[in-house]
Structure 1
């Protein structure tokens, strides 16, 4: 590539970062890293009426948690700042004046009330009101008013906006890395507002000026900006600048039904759509997802590596990411697949790392985690991890490692605890209490020998034994559990079960 790759993620601080925005940031990050370029975070806060306190900090924290921090941002100067649009107003004023001077833009003094009335009148006849070449000279603007009147209105403080002036009979042509060649007849487009009455630029002007001044080489963003692409490309022409390369990503679709994934879908189906918690909406972090699992899932939501491989680290993704493999059509969000990715990444983690994450869960359950060594907890985690998709599920899968059962599964009791079971469990408890070795192997051999020596069936002994130790017919290899809770605790649980479980005939 001719110039150093520079891409940007440019969210508005109007609320939490949607998972679709996270994917856009991720693709920008991967592209930058793949080509040795820079990943820039720019805050597009020109619409101060929609500004939400805390949103900018949320965005930065989310990117850090996901492991895709920007190279440049409001908190990390890179020589192209400021990185908040609200701090770049002087630059926009200079450039809008330039468009006025060269005839690419004009002042419009029409009131919002007048325009609203026109829109409503057109709607009543089934038409759409468009402010463009067909009627622009009929309105109160610098194209229909004398220069003296325009100057007078500005000097007297009259409210105005500045609109882009589309040239007549222009066909805008541009290439998109994902969509291919696109052509648009500009006669069908309206003269968009570039500068608002509050003295702030609209997105259309600000992002073009910023992308040029920040030397952005590739604009990778959602397909919702495709309708604006013709204007953006024409603005580059108006300024005499070389446009960046564009790539418009597909939408992330609802799990069921039609349309774009929304917060309501997450609330209805019980899955997060924000990376971090926002007010009363849980985020992926708080729900127990690993950031690397979220990254892996999102990377494949609209892009594929060209192979059957599904599990990738961030480093893997950097190495193979290619915008040419991004699909055009929308990608359907699958909450179950999202959980599957978290399960897979949990299995890839070391027991030591899982123990570090499990200790706070134990403390929350009132278990003195400091009483257990890392080695002991690693053994516990190794036995239950295969059944878990989240670390917080470890407690439900293995609470019996830390607390003796005081209640027993009714269905299991009815099926397995027969009239002669208490006597069998008492006799076996005596055998285990007298055992000299209590390793899993030694206990298994001892119990099997006792079963055989008493001409018993395994079904008479093993299910009730598990019920006594665990409280239910669940869990990993029983003798591994017994070794970890210890000989004294094992026998104690068996005797408690004999005393408290009522035999079913």
Structure 2
């Protein structure tokens, strides 16, 4: 049997972390088994589904690199198919029209609650044929009255539900639109889905869907219901924990490789291994190795992984992701060094690509002002001579490289008879605008000699103005 998995989000919001993990597990299982991965957009909730949310899901999947083999399919484009099968079930006596009003049903459920019973539709119209003319109705599935449904769950083992616990599910609303549980069943059948990986909140839907599949004579897929993700505080992950949307992680400066590596470990493990390439994930992944317990989100672990990938991925891969952040800041990279060079000296100093971009702007554009604290401390009148001497030494460098730049700065300090700090710190503030940067030899090497001269002159003007104020 060829494995076919699917990810089937509802486009009522962004692609959230829990959905991304489900998508990843489905994708990995398909890849691990040499199968296919289907993307299906379940947009039957016409009031809440939006085009913006559909695009956000596609963007999130593409950013993570979870490409689909088939799709995206949209349920709203398949209504004719659902209606055809609902009519077939009516004709075969496997579904029926129910004319009970919502007010009647509410009253019955209220009474059931008062009696300590489970609120459920009592099957009033299940076998009736005295259908009132012109009255609105829903169509309900005739759920079996006897027996049990057995779910052989890859994560939770055998789950048995008595059919007596299930009432007759609505499969078509009074406005003629099919319901979620019915559409899912038809889609999984038509798309040849063999394995359904989804959140544990769907466990209650599964026995109902299995009964409908069997009524249609369709094969029943295998199921794996993954546990929820909790926040750092042990409560269900939500916006209060920070980034929940996958694309927010992009915006915050995380690499997709780090997010994928982090997500795969939220419930699945392979020995004590923490860092996995995509190839390793595919090689080792198995649904049966997913744990039952809820997973707690740990932002520090994600940050650690992000730093690891910033330093170990090919610089060209990191650069392509970093460029997005400079583009967001409207910074033209054409006038500065290659991003790979900046990554080489800055990646160790930050946690995210966003931070890396923010501390590296001086390589690509001039700054309007010096950092106030750094300038107050290091661009004082006493630094004037040091800046003038080091400028002269640097301008005399013929071959512009870190070794010669370092030698020029040392020569300036020696000629003045002062420690390196007395020259290096004013020079650092002059060249970068702040008191923090990698070592000056590699930093200045990525700036042109002309740019260094301009910025030292700017610092000297700042000192002169300070003297005269």
Q: TM-score, normalised by structure 2?
A: 0.85
Distance 1:496 1:199, change over 3 A: closer
2:107 is equivalent to residue 117 of structure 1: yes
Match of 1:130 among 110, 119, 122: 119
Structure 2 match to 1:279: none
2:74 is equivalent to residue 96 of structure 1: no
Query: By how many angstroms is 1:252 displaced?
Result: 2.0
Q: Give, in whole Å, the separation in 2 of the partners of 1:220 and 1:239.
A: 22
Within-5 A mapping of 1:255-294 = 255-259=232-236, 261-262=237-238, 265=239, 268-271=240-243, 273-276=244-247, 283-294=248-259
Bigger shift: 211-220 or 398-407? 398-407
Match of 1:306 among 241, 266, 271: 271
Distance 1:181 1:408, change over 3 A: same
Q: Is the 8 A contact 1:290 1:342 kept in 2?
A: yes
Match of 2:167, SS state, is coil
Structure 2 match to 1:316: 280
Q: Give, in whole Å, the separation in 1 of the partners of 2:221 and 2:330.
A: 57
Structure 2 match to 1:384: 346
Match of 1:371, SS state, is coil
What are the superposed Cα offsets for residues 67-105 of structure 1, whole Å, 9 maximum, x if unpaired? 223222256xxxxx989442422442245226625xxx5
* Unaligned stretches of 5+ residues in structure 2: none
- After superposing on structure 2, the runs of 4+ consecutive aligned residues of structure 1 that deviate more than 6 Å are none
Distance 1:368 1:32, change over 3 A: closer
Distance 1:240 1:489, change over 3 A: closer
Distance 1:68 1:355, change over 3 A: closer
Within-5 A mapping of 1:96-245 = 96-97=89-90, 100=93, 105-123=95-113, 125=114, 127=116, 130-131=119-120, 135-136=122-123, 139=124, 141-143=125-127, 145=128, 147=129, 149-150=130-131, 153=132, 156-168=134-146, 170-239=147-216, 241-245=218-222
Match of 1:329, SS state, is coil
Within-5 A mapping of 1:63-82 = 63-74=61-72
Q: Is the 8 A contact 1:92 1:201 kept in 2?
A: no
Query: By how many angstroms is 1:185 displaced?
Result: 3.3
Match of 2:434, SS state, is coil
Q: Please, what is the CA RMSD of the aligned residues?
A: 3.3
* Unaligned stretches of 5+ residues in structure 1: 76-80, 277-282
Structure 2 match to 1:17: 15
Distance 1:440 1:222, change over 3 A: same
Structure 2 match to 1:33: 31
Q: Give, in whole Å, the separation in 2 of the partners of 1:16 and 1:360.
A: 20
What are the superposed Cα offsets for residues 214-260 of structure 1, whole Å, 9 maximum, x if unpaired? 3322121111111222323334444555422111111122333522x
Q: Is the 8 A contact 2:262 2:302 kept in 1?
A: yes
What are the superposed Cα offsets for residues 347-366 of structure 1, whole Å, 9 maximum, x if unpaired? 34444455555566556666
Bigger shift: 23-32 or 400-409? 400-409
Distance 1:7 1:94, change over 3 A: farther
Q: Is the 8 A contact 1:118 1:129 kept in 2?
A: no
Q: Give, in whole Å, the separation in 2 of the partners of 1:294 and 1:394.
A: 18
Q: Give, in whole Å, the separation in 1 of the partners of 2:195 and 2:309.
A: 32
Match of 1:93, SS state, is helix
Within-5 A mapping of 1:275-424 = 275-276=246-247, 283-313=248-278, 315-356=279-320, 368-372=332-336, 374=338, 377-404=339-366, 407-416=369-378, 420-424=382-386
Match of 2:390 among 411, 422, 428: 428
Aligned residues: 465
Match of 1:25, SS state, is helix
2:375 is equivalent to residue 440 of structure 1: no
